[in-house]
């Protein structure tokens, strides 16, 4: 009797055959050895049938056929995949096949790919079906995954959530897109002066993300800059100048007055008020302040958490100006070359089991030039031994897979990857090795001085010990200090040694001379537009957008979409013409059509734009996967929601209101002021 190993892609199937050391004969669509068969899918082989497969009359979009809520779901083989499906179907049903090892990607989507094949191929339940769950494609991991393979039935809840996710996207997409297109498609076509009807395509996650992008764009567009005026003293020590900032603390004649700008008390709304303060202080002769407080302390900055897919996509967008789907493709390729662990993960920590063997990864990286010397140091000093006690190891924070880290294997493959892939690998490797190094340490000096009842402040921070920064620092995307994102592992600006020594020797009661007191004008800044990386993080952290504390807590860790789907959502919005992506900056902006779609949804199915709802659906799917909610319970809620909102759209009569809103948005694009 034989075992069948079915992978998601041919390249992965090859790795399983190599790991098993099978003496295989190459056949059409599979590899066969005396006691085993290795075959593969090409991603999805099966898809959900469109409504006209249920009834030819449903091919035409009409209100009287909505809502469409099938009692029994239909599926069909994707035409381009029919040959491979028939090969797989025959193999799985062969009489000499006793056991089936499911080796598709270890996640919800990989589970769904096989389950659909199993369903449509009508594989008998009497076959022994085992699930192989791995985090990398190294030989060791593959063999361990096969050895520890659990009965497929243990993943039934995950399978249920995968089916429900697909049904949810299908029902919302089919019903809402048809209803909104029938209601608004012709008015939108006429407004845009197009020859063809406009299809209003909406989706559970896609429409919510469009809403985030449009709202941010409108905040920026409607933002009114407000000037403010700060008062700075130019202090002098050891023959060197440095700035000190005035603040209206208790004791100041401006404390808690309406003249102040903002809530920090460090600026004025009007220049005249700032000038009044400067004139008063300049009358002090000599222009000398008194130190009333000085703090000297050491601050520590720990290495950041390991990469999950969202964080990696954000950094790749910042450093390399590439889209999230490009990052996913790159890291997937690195995974298939055995260079990194499974990419579609939300976790930023390691498991306890992996931590026990982590020295193997480090040992492998010892021969990788960018971090080799650092990895070798950790191995030689056994700096990995207590990592299981650190914040970088937490089994409770892992659902399907741990963080993305280098395997330490297959380094010869790096000579065959692109320059960009090599850079992404280096980014992952540096982040990984850095967690075994101590925190960076900074010397921080905070000075507060007083003159004529007014207080000036200055804080100086210099790097004392680089710690993990010597590993994490890289040359990717270096920015000017004023442009750098907070939290970057960037080098500290060096400070004149004589000035630093003078500042460190100051004590309370000392005198500090001011060379001048000046006014610095600034203005409030609008929120930053989303870029392709920051939108991914916003999707992952959707709870931060939710005001309701209970709901925010409920969906914590769930977010909008999943690590496997977020990049594709951004790509789909772009392909639909709803958003534009600046190739150089990766900044996202809605198109006129995108804003029109937003307004249509906002005045018909408003909940589709809310992170609360979208994230709660994702949370519900997680609860199904955990066994806390049954498929029937979830499906009932879903059908009620889709049916109710579809019928609401059918009854709307607000076309004139939509045309009014379109006219409000259109001039912005006609004047070419939009980004």
User: What is the set of active-site residues?
Assistant: 342
Provide the pairing of β-strand 240-247 with 454-465: antiparallel
Answer for the pair 523, 69: CB distance below 8 angstroms, yes or no: no
Torsion, Cα of 425, 317, 612, 63 (10° steps): -110
Q: Three-state SS for 387?
A: helix
Answer for the pair 73, 40: CB distance below 8 angstroms, yes or no: no
Report H helices in 321-357. Answer: 324-336, 352-356
Kind plus residue range of the DSSP H or E element containing 280: helix 271-282
CA angle, corner 229, sides to 225 and 230, nearest 5? 130
Torsion, Cα of 635, 637, 642, 643 (10° steps): 100
Instruction: Report residue 266: phi and psi, to 5°.
Output: -120, 25
* Cis peptide upstream of residue 441 (ω within 30 degrees of 0): no
Look-up of token digits 């000037």: 227
For residue 510, CA distances in Å to 100, 373, 460 come to: 80, 47, 18
How many Cβ atoms sit within 10 Å of the Cβ of residue 575? Answer: 10
Answer for the pair 4, 100: CB distance below 8 angstroms, yes or no: yes
Q: Label residue 265 left, alpha or beta by phi (over 0 means left) and psi (-120 to 50 means alpha).
A: left
Which is nearest to 209 in space by CA: 568, 642, 643?
568
CA distance 440 to 469: 7
Token readout for 396 is 């409770």
Residue 176 neighbours by CB under 8 Å, 6+ apart: 202, 605, 608, 642, 645, 646, 649
Instruction: Report residue 573: phi and psi, to 5°.
Output: -60, -40
Residue 514 neighbours by CB under 8 Å, 6+ apart: 233, 234, 235, 236, 244, 287, 288, 289, 451
């Amino acid at each position: 009797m034989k075992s069948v190993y079915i992978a998601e892609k041919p390249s992965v199937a090859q790795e399983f055959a190599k790991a098993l050391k099978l003496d295989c004969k190459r056949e059409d669509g599979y590899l066969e050895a005396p006691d085993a068969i290795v075959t593969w899918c090409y991603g999805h082989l099966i898809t959900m049938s469109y409504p006209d497969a249920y009834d030819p009359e449903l091919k035409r979009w009409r209100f009287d056929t909505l809502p469409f809520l099938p009692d029994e779901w239909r599926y069909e083989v994707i035409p381009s995949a029919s040959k491979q499906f028939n090969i797989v179907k025959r193999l799985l049903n062969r009489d000499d096949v006793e056991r089936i090892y499911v080796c598709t990607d270890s996640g919800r989507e990989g589970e769904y790919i096989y389950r659909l094949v199993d369903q449509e191929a009508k594989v008998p339940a009497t076959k022994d079906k085992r699930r192989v769950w791995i985090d990398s494609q190294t030989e060791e991991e593959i063999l361990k995954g096969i050895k520890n393979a659990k009965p497929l039935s243990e993943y039934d809840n995950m399978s249920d959530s995968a089916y429900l996710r697909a049904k949810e996207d299908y029902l919302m997409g089919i019903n809402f897109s048809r209803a909104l297109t029938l209601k608004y498609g012709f008015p939108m076509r006429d407004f845009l002066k197009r020859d063809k009807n406009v299809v209003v395509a909406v989706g559970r996650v896609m429409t919510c993300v469009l809403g985030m992008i449009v709202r941010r764009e409108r905040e920026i567009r409607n933002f009114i800059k407000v000037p403010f005026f700060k008062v700075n003293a130019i202090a002098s020590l050891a023959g060197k100048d440095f700035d000190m900032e005035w603040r209206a603390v208790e004791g100041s004649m401006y404390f808690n007055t309406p003249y102040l700008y903002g809530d920090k008390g460090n600026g004025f709304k009007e220049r005249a008020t700032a000038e009044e303060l400067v004139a008063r202080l300049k009358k002090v002769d000599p222009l000398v302040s008194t130190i009333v407080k000085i703090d000297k302390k050491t601050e520590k900055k720990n290495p950041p958490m390991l990469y999950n897919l969202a964080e990696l996509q954000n950094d790749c967008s910042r450093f390399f100006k590439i889209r999230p789907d490009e990052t996913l493709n790159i890291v997937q390729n690195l995974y298939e070359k055995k260079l990194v662990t499974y990419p579609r993960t939300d976790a930023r920590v390691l498991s306890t089991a992996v931590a026990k063997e982590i020295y193997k990864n480090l040992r492998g990286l010892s021969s990788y030039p960018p971090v080799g010397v650092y990895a070798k140091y950790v191995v030689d000093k056994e700096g990995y031994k207590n990592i299981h006690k650190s914040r970088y190891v937490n089994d409770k924070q892992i659902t399907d897979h741990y963080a993305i880290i280098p395997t330490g294997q297959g380094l010869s493959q790096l000579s065959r990857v692109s320059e960009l892939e090599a850079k992404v690998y280096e980014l992952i490797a540096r982040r990984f090795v850095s967690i075994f190094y101590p925190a960076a340490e900074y010397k921080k000096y905070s000075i507060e001085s007083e003159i004529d009842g007014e207080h000036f402040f200055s804080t100086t921070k210099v790097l004392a010990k680089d710690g993990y920064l010597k590993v994490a620092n890289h040359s990717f995307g270096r920015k000017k200090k004023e442009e750098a994102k907070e939290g970057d592992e960037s080098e500290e600006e060096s400070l004149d040694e004589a000035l630093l020594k003078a500042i460190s020797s100051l004590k309370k009661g000392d005198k500090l001379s001011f060379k001048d007191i000046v006014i610095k004008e600034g203005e409030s800044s609008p929120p930053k537009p989303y870029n392709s990386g920051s939108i991914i993080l916003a999707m992952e952290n959707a709870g931060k957008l939710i005001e309701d504390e209970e709901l925010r807590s409920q969906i914590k860790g769930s977010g909008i979409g999943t690590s496997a789907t977020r990049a594709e959502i951004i790509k789909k919005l772009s392909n639909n013409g709803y958003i534009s992506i600046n190739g150089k900056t990766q900044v996202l902006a809605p198109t006129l059509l995108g804003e029109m779609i937003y307004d249509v949804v906002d005045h018909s199915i408003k909940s589709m734009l809310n992170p609360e709802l979208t994230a709660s659906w994702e949370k519900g799917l997680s609860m199904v996967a955990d066994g806390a909610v049954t498929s029937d319970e979830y499906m009932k809620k879903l059908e009620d929601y889709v049916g109710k909102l579809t019928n609401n759209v059918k009854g709307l009569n607000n076309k004139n209101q939509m045309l009014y809103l379109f006219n409000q948005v259109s001039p912005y694009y006609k004047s070419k002021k939009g980004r």
